[in-house]
Structure 1
Amino acid sequence: MDKHQRHEEERFPGLSPIPDPETENPSSTTMIEEILDEFSKEANERKKRDAQHS
């Protein structure tokens, strides 16, 4: 069974509109991990500043 529909191929040429669940896009995973790490560091810094001002 072909996953591609004609209108999807026109909107997204060359891309599979339905990702394969057996694979993982490492670039998006890395990006998410970096964002979480950055927000975690910012939260810890904010917590330390708030503790010093109390």
Structure 2
Amino acid sequence: MSCLRHPAGAHLRPLRQSKNLTLTAAAQHFGVWPATISTLERGIRRDDDLAHAYRDWLQAA
């Protein structure tokens, strides 16, 4: 069984890294585990609400 990758999160990791933010910092901001942010960034997890909030947060950082 293969995982479907969701392109909505594909741009989030490079954006986070360009701001020198860690997974832990992002996870703490949203009150989730770092693994949640990681799987969102890699397209393994789909959570449109979190993805939009995360993108907005990163763009404002």
Q: Which structure: larger Rg? A: 1
Q: Which TM-score applies when normalising by structure 2? A: 0.24
